[in-house]
Structure 1
Amino acid sequence: MRIDRITEAAAVHAASELFDAPPLAEATERFLASPGHHLLMAYGETGLALGMISGVEMTHPDKGTEMFVYELSVAESARRQGVATALVTELAAIARRNGCYGMWVGTEPDNEAALGTYRKAGASEEAPFVLLNWDLLVEGER
């Protein structure tokens, strides 16, 4: 398995099945061009994308910089083979090299696969929190 940092939109669109919805051209370009935004893909021996992880560095004046794990996905055929753990581990290495003091992720309490992956990659559970959301799109936008 090979893990690459993605900098070209073509690689994102070629692996669109790893995303929740088809990647949007403008959003893909913006994400890839933004400093502190990271998109990694794992590739198998055949060159097919097996999984992806995205992370965003966030800096706050009184805390410093931390890495937020935005999304993790592994193709169904490649699950339970260490792909997700390798991706999380590589993103953590990037975070360390970039001076992040920590890395965090949120997931659903019943998402056993995600919880297992994150724990296996060294994450520890903190106090529960409440997620509040603002839907800022007007009906029909996207």
Structure 2
Amino acid sequence: MRIERITDAAVVRRAADLFDGPPLPEATEKFLAAPAITSCWPYACDRAVGMISGVEMTHPDKGTEMFVYELGVAPHARLRGVGTALVRALADIARERGCYGMWVGTEHDNEAVQRTYRRAGANGY
């Protein structure tokens, strides 16, 4: 499995099944052009099998941190470490970009995603 940062709208369109609905052309271009947004996708057999999106946020008294905006793994690729690898990849990018930490919000009853974040090293969420 390889993980790549996504910067091309055509790649987003080809992986439309990873989204809740079809990607909107104008929103896709704006998303990809935003310097504070990072999107990484894992590939298996040259097919995208998931995605993670993070947004850098800066506050005057805290500095810059990365917010995990969305994490998704295709059903056929779940329970194979894809989500954990994506969280770790985004954490590496956050560190490279000078973020002091990373955070996420999730429902208390979403045990699958909580396990994913714990395996990636998260605590206290």
TM-score, reference length from structure 2? 0.97
| Aligned equivalents of 1:65, 1:29: Cα separation in 2 | 24
Q: Distance in 2 between matches of 1:10 and 1:41?
A: 14
Q: Name the structure 1 match of 2:53.
A: 54
More helix by share: 2
- Relative CO higher for 1 or 2, CA cutoff 8 Å, sep ≥ 6? 2
Q: Which amino acid in structure 1 is aligned with residue 6 of structure 2?
A: I
Q: Which residue of 1 aligns with 2:83?
A: 84
Report which of the two structures shows the higher radius of gyration computed on alpha carbons: 1
Give the C-alpha shift of residue 32 in structure 1: 0.6
1:37-116 alignment, distance < 5 Å: 37-44=37-44, 46-116=45-115
Residue identity over aligned pairs, in percent, reads 66
State the aligned residue count.
125
Q: Alpha-carbon deviations, 1:72-93, whole Å to 9, x = none? A: 0000000000100000000000
Cα distance in 2 for partners of 1:83, 1:15 equals 16
Partner of 1:136: none
Deviations 1:47-91 (A, max 9, x none): 011110000000111110000000000000000001000000000
User: Structure 1 regions of 5+ residues with no counterpart?
Assistant: 127-142
Structure 2, unaligned runs of 5 or more: none
Larger mean Cα displacement after TM superposition, 18-27 or 101-110: 18-27
In the other structure, the counterpart of 1:14 is 14
